[in-house]
Amino acid sequence: MSVKYEVHFIHENKAYTVSLHDTDRSDGKICVGGRNYGINKDAKLPDCARNLFESLRKNSFKDETKLLKNLEASSDAIGANCISITKQTYDPVTDALLNKQSYDSEEAAALRENTCKSLNSCNSSDKEQITKIIQNSNCPEVVLFEIADQIQKDGKIELAHLIRETARPFDLKSSLDSICEQITLKYFDTLKGTEFVDVIVSKFNNGDYEDIYEADEFAFRLTNDLRETSHDLHFEVETKRNEPIPESAEETKKKELHRLESNHFGFGEVEVLEEGRACLLEIHKMENPKAIFDGKEITKEKAIELINKIKDSNPEAIVFDLRRNSGGSTSMSELFCSYFHEADVLLSHYEYREQPKETSIFPIEPKRTWSYERLPKEERMLQTPIYILISRYTMSAGEDFVCHFKELNRDNTRVTVIGETTRGAANVTELCDAGKNFNVAVPIGEPIIPYDNYNRNWESVGITPHIEVETEKALEIAKSLIKKSKKF
């Protein structure tokens, strides 16, 4: 199980929360109950409070009660009061919240009790009074929601709902309405999009999201519900952070180039295997080769540079490692397919509800391997055996790469795919504005591939390997097969 602690306190009549996140690292972390926790550095805190939490680094506490007592003892130094801790336990696979416990200082317990009494005495129609009590209490949202739970158990359902609605830092209904509106307008299959929205609205009406007070938790839960309902892994709701300061197109380009350079344009270095007889290239992101910086397609140039480095090595086998590939642009897949297959081979075409305007991002024309005029036959590697490593995390444009290499060589043994069945995410996605607090990624189109053993594409089914093994063992299997090949 994974655990997150939230430490709540009041400083100068303002409520603050500090998150301590479960981490495997031990350097400079806070240890509670034998587990290490990292501090949320993005939290907006008074300097004195930040200094206190920084001073706790490398300290160990038997349990959360010991941590609470330590914080209480230091509270005078930072002018904090009403300290409480919330312990949240999550499923490590699904990230679903399993349990929540609160630990209050004496001050926090008294504040909770007094606030509960005040709210319990309110009329469910008196929103103004409820708002006033909540604002004056300075209780963190988690405490107010726990109070609402208690009031609901006493039978005051409408009052509990109004307390949650008032305490929640975002408008749940209007946020959900905005997200559903974007799905209704943009999802490439109109009928299915309406069906998905109906399911989500039904969940809302049944109170499935009533207990949520954090925007991130709402985004997480709604994302999971959309994916479970649609079986489309490209659906994603994300929380908007602080509004960025507007920047010029030049500054935006500069930042994007820095990101690409920092990530080596989505590639690892070309590595030599088996005493120089094979080459390995990790592709962890399919960056867009059509992106232009200072008049140059720098990402495309980098990809071709790496391919030429492999070609110049004259390897007897090539290993492409896509086990960590999170997708990106299918134009990169088209580029690689062109260097390792014949010319003008149809790879896919795309169907949209409405034709996208941004053609450099969303493919409009059918994808084909490059012509011989664009890439002469002698510059291609058409015979070299290829091993592709995949995992359950390989997705989207990464799957596009794997699918074409596998299917275009189905009638021969040139390409061997090793690992786990991939994620199963094929569709083309646009990030849509969904109001003040959220964005939603909506699939607006789908690729159609020309292979008989797929129903349109690999959405929700993934790409199966020739050799199914645990992802950690895939490279060793590839090395073993290379050693056994006749050329060696």
Ranges of each domain in the chain: 2-104, 107-167, 263-424+462-484
Q: Which residue has the higher pLDDT, 4 or 429?
A: 429
Q: How far apart are CA 57 and CA 34, in angstroms?
A: 14
The length of the chain, given as a count of residues: 488
At 215 the three-state DSSP class reads helix
- Band of residue 286 on the pLDDT scale cut at 50, 70, 90: very high
- Band of residue 42 on the pLDDT scale cut at 50, 70, 90: low
pLDDT at residue 101, as a whole number: 86
Alpha helical stretches, state H, 318-357: 330-340
What is the DSSP code (8-state) at residue 371? P
Question: 275: burial class by Cβ within 10 Å (0-12, 13-18, 19+)?
Answer: exposed
- Band of residue 68 on the pLDDT scale cut at 50, 70, 90: confident
pLDDT in tens, 377-414: 999 999 999 999 999 999 999 999 999 999 999 888 89
264 has a pLDDT exceeding 90:
yes
φ/ψ of 207, rounded to 5, equals 85, 20
pLDDT in tens, 289-336: 999 998 999 999 999 999 999 999 999 999 999 999 999 999 999 999
φ/ψ of 463, rounded to 5, equals -110, 125
Alpha helical stretches, state H, 138-214: 141-153, 157-167, 172-186, 190-205
pLDDT in tens, 223-245: 999 999 999 999 999 999 866 66
pLDDT in tens, 7-27: 888 888 888 888 888 876 655
Q: How far apart are CA 402 and CA 246, in angstroms?
A: 39
Contact 393, 323 (CB under 8 A): yes
201 has a pLDDT exceeding 50:
yes
Which CATH number is associated with domain 263-424+462-484?
A: 3.90.226.10
pLDDT at residue 488, as a whole number: 46
pLDDT in tens, 332-383: 999 999 999 999 999 999 999 988 887 777 888 999 999 999 999 999 999 9
Mean pLDDT of the chain: 90
pLDDT at residue 360, as a whole number: 72
How far is C-alpha 63 from the geometric centre of its chain's CA atoms?
Answer: 31
Percent of the chain with pLDDT over 70: 96
Q: What angle do CA 414, 418, 420 make, to 5 degrees?
A: 145
pLDDT at residue 211, as a whole number: 93
pLDDT at residue 314, as a whole number: 93
Q: Which residues of 304-322 are buried (b: 16+ CB within 10 A; e: fewer)?
A: bebbeebbeeebbbbbbbb
Percent of the chain with pLDDT over 90: 66
